[in-house]
A and B are shown apart, each in its own frame.
Chain A
Amino acid sequence: MSAIFKDHEADRKVDVRWWSSRVAIYGALILWAFICLFPIYWTLTTSFKLAPDVMKGNMIPWVDYTPKWKGWESLGLSPRLIGEVSTVREEFMKRFWNSTIVALSASTLAVVLGSLAAYGLSRFNYRFGFMRNSDISFFFLSQMILPPVVLALPFLVLYKSLALLDSRIGLILLYTLMVLPIVIWIMRDQFQGIPTELEEAALVDGLGIWGAFLQIVLPIALPGMVAAFILSLVLCWNEYFFAALLTATDAKTLPVMVASQTGSQGINWWSMAALSSAAIMPLVVVAIFLEKYIIKGMAAGAVK
C-alpha cells in the first residue's frame, strides 16, 4: 500500500526534508557534545603525556603515544607510588579533604536552614516589625545579588579578630551564606507544591506543627532537598574567590591549590593536567549519576 503513496513526487520531497532535518539536528547535537567533552578529554589525556607528546600535539592514547603515569606520579597517585609515603599526595589529599568537608557541611547547613525558612514562609504569616512574608522572602532572595567582593574584606578583618582566618569553619559559614538564597528559592517552590491538607490531617491526628513538618512534609520534599543540596555542593566545591582571600595554609581548598600551581614556574603540563582532572572528577561523577536531581533543582525556579 505504502508504495502507492510514496511513489508520488511530492511525498519523496518530504522524505528528503525529514532526513535533512534529522542530519541537521544530530549534527548540531554531536558538534556541541564535542565542544563540551573535548576540554575534559584533553585534560584527562594530557595527564598521561610526557613533554614530547605535548609538544607534538598527540591526541589519541595508544595510537599517537603511549600513556605514562608521570603526571599522576607528581601527585603521588600512580600505581607505583600509591603504596609508598608521599608528601605531595598528603598535600593533595589535605586540600581534597578540606574541599570535601567544607562543601558538604556548608551544603548541609544551608539545606537545613533554608528548608526551615522556606517551609515557614510558605505556610505561615509572619510579621517582624514592618516586614511581612513577601518582604522576608525578598530579603532572603536579594542576598543572591550581593557580590562576594563586598563581603570579602569585612570578613577578612572580622575573621582575623575572631581567629577564624584560615579555618574551615570560617569558609563553611561564608559558603552557607552564599548558597542559602538558592536553597530557599528551590525549597519554597517544593513546599508550595505540597497540599496543606496533608499537614491538616496530621494536626488533627495529634501532631504538632514541627511533628507534621518532620514526619509528613519532609519525606515528600526530600527529592527537592537533594536537588538543592547537590546544587549547593557544586557551587561550594568550585568556589575560589573567598577561599583565595581567606585561607593561607591549613584550610586551603582544591581550587586555590590548582590556581596557585599555574602562576609560579613555567607550566608543568602533565602535573597540572593530573591536578585539574582530580579536581573536576568528583563533580563529573556526581553529574553523571545524579543528573536528574541537578536538572530538577535548576528547573525549580523556571517552571511553576
Chain B
Amino acid sequence: MSEGDLLHTVTADNISDGRRRLGKAMVWGSAGLVAILGLWQMLHETGRVSGGFETWRPVLYAYLLWATALCWSQVIVRGEMGKRTLFVLPAALFVISLVVFPLLFALYISFTDWNLASAAGPQPNGWDNIRQMWSDAFYWNALKNMVYYVVAVSVEYMIAFGLALLLNAQIRARKFFRVVFLLPLMLSPVAVSWMVGKSMMEIRFGPLARLAREIGIDNPSFFGSPEMARFMIMAMDAWTFIPFMMIMLLAGLQALPREIIEASKVDGATGWQSFKEVIFPLMLPVSVTAIVIRIIFKLKLADIIINVTSGGPGGATDSVTSFIFREYRDRSNVGYGTLLAIVYLVLIVIFITALLKLVSRYMERPA
C-alpha cells in the first residue's frame, strides 16, 4: 500500500482561534463529564457515596457523547483535513472501545480467582491460575486437538481445489452446481449439528447408521471412540466450510490467464501435467490466502462441538473454545477461564504471525 494521498485536495481553510477553542472545549468538556460520572458511579458502587445511578448506563451515554464530540471537533478544529479523518475515526473508535478496553479488563480478571457462583467478588490470586493451567491436562488436550483440527484444513483444501476444478471445467448447469455446492456454508453450525450430528448419525434410525449397517458394520458408533468422534467433528466442520475455500479457489481459477494454459496444451502437456506445472503454481497465492483465512476461522471452531459431543468422549473432541465455554457455563469459573482464553489468544497471535511471516511472500496481498 502506498503511503500517499491518492486523492489530492487543495483546501484553504480559515479557522479562527475561537472555533479551535470551541472544538477543544467540546472534547474536553464531554471527556470531563465521562470522568465525573464514572468516578461518581465507582464511589457509589463501593458504597462511599449514597446517591447514584442503578447501572453504568449514564456513563455509557456520556461516553457516546464524548465520541460524537470527538468526531465533530475534528471538522471544527481541522476543517477539510478533519473531514478526511471522519472516514476512519468512527470505525476506529468503535473497535478500540469494544476490543481494547474489554481486553484490558480480561487481563485483569484472568489473574483473579473470580467464580460467579461465589458471593465474593474478584480477588487477585497472583500466579495461581497459571499454575493450575500448567497442570490442567484437559486444556493441553484441547490445544492438542486444535493442532489436529488445523491439520485437517489440508484435506479440506484438497477437496475444495478438486471441486473448484470441476466447476471450472466445461460443464452444463454450472450455475445449478455452484448454488448447490454453496448451500452448506449458509447453514448455521447449530442446525448442522442437529441435522447431521444428532439425526443422520443417530445410531438406531439415522440414515448414515443404516448405510454403515448395509456396508456390513454391525454396531456403527460415530462418537464412541475418540478418533472416530474427532473425525466426525472434522467432517461436519469441513462440510460447512469447504464451499468457502472452493469459492475463493474458483475465483482464482477464473482469473487465470487463459493463454498460458492453452499454450501448455499446444506444447503437448497432458491434463495432469498442465495442472502440476502451470495451474497449481499460478494458483499458489490464492491457495495460501484461502488456507490462511480458513485456519483463522478454524481456530474459532466451537459451535458444532458444543452441540454434538460437548467435548466427549473424554475430551477427545474438545476445542479450546468449547472447553472454556463449559468452564464458564458449568463451573462459572470466570477468572480461570479467562486466563485460558488469554493464553490461547497469545498462542494464536504467535502462531498466525509466524505463519504469515512464512507464507506472506506467496500471498496475493500481504495482510
Contact = CB atoms under 8 A, between A and B. Distances in A.
B20 interface: no
B123 to A, nearest CB: 15
Interface in A92-119: 113-114, 116-117, 119
A61 interface: no
Contact of B6 (A180, A196, A241): A196
B57 to A, nearest CB: 6
Contacts of B193: 259, 262
A125 interface: yes
Interface of B: 1, 3-9, 54-57, 60, 80, 83-88, 90-92, 94-95, 98-99, 102-103, 105-106, 109, 162-163, 166, 169, 171, 175, 177-196, 198-200, 202, 204-205, 207, 210, 239, 244, 247-252, 255, 286, 289-290, 293, 296, 299-300, 302-303, 306-307, 320-321, 324-325, 328-329, 334, 337-338, 341-342, 344-345, 348-349, 352, 364-365, 367
A232 interface: no
Secondary structure class of chain B's binding surface, majority of residues = helix
Interface of A: 25-26, 28-29, 32-33, 35-40, 42-43, 46, 54-55, 57, 59, 113-114, 116-117, 119-126, 128, 132-134, 136-141, 143-158, 161-163, 173-174, 176-177, 180, 184, 196, 199-200, 203, 208-210, 213, 234, 237-238, 240-241, 244-245, 254-256, 258-259, 262, 267, 269, 272-273, 276, 279-280, 283-284, 286-288, 291, 294-295, 298-299, 301-304
Given A151-B99, A162-B56, A124 B199 contact: no
26 contacts: A25-B166, A26-B171, A39-B200, A42-B195, A57-B207, A116-B91, A137-B1, A139-B92, A143-B95, A147-B300, A150-B344, A153-B106, A154-B109, A156-B328, A200-B7, A209-B7, A209-B80, A240-B307, A245-B325, A258-B190, A279-B191, A284-B183, A287-B179, A298-B248, A298-B251, A302-B248
A149 B187 contact: no
Contacts of B8: 200
Contact of A120 (B3, B56, B88, B94): B88
B139 to A, nearest CB: 12
B121 to A, nearest CB: 11
Contacts of A163: 54-57
Nearest to A237: B188
Given A153-B328, A295-B247, A301-B365, 12 more contacts: A138-B367, A148-B300, A151-B102, A152-B325, A153-B106, A153-B338, A196-B6, A199-B7, A240-B188, A258-B191, A276-B194, A304-B365
Secondary structure class of chain A's binding surface, majority of residues = helix
B357 to A, nearest CB: 14
A262 B162 CA distance: 35
A234 B185 contact: yes
A150 B341 contact: yes
A43 B182 contact: no
Q: Give the interface centre of B90, B178, B205 by most chain A CB atoms within 10 Å.
A: B205
A55 B205 contact: yes
Contacts of A148: 300, 302, 321
Contact of A121 (B4, B88, B98): B88
Given A37-B180, A54-B205, A279-B188, A116 B87 contact: yes
B205 A134 contact: no
A44 to B, nearest CB: 10
B189 A25 contact: no
Given A114-B91, A262-B307, A42 B199 contact: yes
User: Which 9 residue pairs are nearest across A and B when measured between Cβ atoms?
Assistant: A120-B87, A299-B251, A238-B188, A154-B102, A117-B91, A302-B248, A283-B186, A255-B190, A163-B55
A287 B195 CA distance: 19
B278 to A, nearest CB: 17
B92 A128 contact: yes
Contact of B348 (A145, A203, A259, A288): A145
